[in-house]
């Protein structure tokens, strides 16, 4: 099985690309969605309440309150990551085990912080979604609750787009139409599926 990392900076089109890969029949694990599940209840919520008192309730982690706590003490993001990331990694491993057992030729992990967490090293291939900075900015400023200041803060916490692109196996430009992005992804999927069957032939034929 070929394990593919799908990443890109905020607003570059990860979710849009992941939805297309799913529609093409590829299994895709969404790390961000896993964080949302973990925050809805259970062990992560208990540990976050202990580390950041008052940021959770009976319905789970209040992301607004947790965000506010981190704006007050940005250095504490590392503590939060130390709680959350190992749980996400465990869920990813379990997803990959399931897909390998099923005989999936290709499995995709959509991880916004793929390079920042150095998980790119464990991938057989990395796809980076990327658009020109002014297009990214314009798209994000359309989102409710986004301001120029918040955007600068978010971008400052992520590895720059140019560095992500330089470290990718495949760069998909999302600055054009969604149809163009989909066609580019289709070409990559065909290539990955052929790698997978070649790898299978090498190992088992």
156 forms part of the interface with ligand ATP (CB under 6 A): no
Sheet holding 28-30, edge to edge: 28-30, 106-110, 2-8, 125-130, 170-173
187 forms part of the interface with ligand ATP (CB under 6 A): no
147 forms part of the interface with ligand COD (CB under 6 A): no
59 among annotated binding-site residues: no
The one among 65, 89, 137, 139 contacting ligand ATP by CB under 6 A: 139
Gap between the Cα atoms of 164 and 170, Å rounded: 10
Gap between the Cα atoms of 158 and 25, Å rounded: 30
12 among annotated binding-site residues: yes
Residue 82: Cβ within 10 Å count: 11
Site string for ligand ATP, 13-52 (x = CB under 6 A): xxxx------------------------------------
Q: Which is nearer to ligand ATP, 100 or 138 (CB)?
A: 138
Phi-psi region of 181 (alpha: psi -120 to 50; beta: other; left: phi over 0): alpha
13 among annotated binding-site residues: yes
């Amino acid at each position: 099985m070929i394990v593919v990392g799908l990443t890109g900076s905020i607003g570059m089109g990860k979710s849009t690309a992941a939805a297309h890969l799913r529609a093409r029949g590829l299994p895709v694990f969404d790390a961000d969605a896993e964080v949302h599940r973990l925050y809805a209840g259970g062990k992560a919520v208990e540990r976050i309440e202990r580390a950041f008192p008052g940021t959770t309730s009976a319905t789970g982690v209040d992301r607004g309150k947790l965000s506010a706590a981190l704006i007050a003490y940005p250095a504490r993001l590392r503590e939060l990551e130390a709680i959350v990331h190992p749980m996400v990694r465990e869920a990813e491993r379990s997803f990959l085990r399931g897909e390998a057992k099923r005989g999936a030729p290709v499995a995709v992990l959509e991880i916004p912080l793929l390079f920042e967490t150095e998980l790119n090293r464990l991938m057989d291939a990395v796809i980076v979604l990327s658009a020109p900075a002014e297009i990214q900015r314009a798209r994000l400023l359309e989102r409710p609750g986004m301001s120029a200041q918040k955007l600068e803060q978010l971008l400052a916490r992520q590895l720059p787009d140019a560095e992500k692109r330089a470290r990718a196996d495949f760069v998909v430009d999302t600055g054009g139409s969604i149809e163009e992005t989909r066609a580019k992804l289709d070409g990559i999927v065909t290539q990955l599926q052929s790698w997978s069957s070649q790898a299978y032939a090498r190992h088992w034929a």
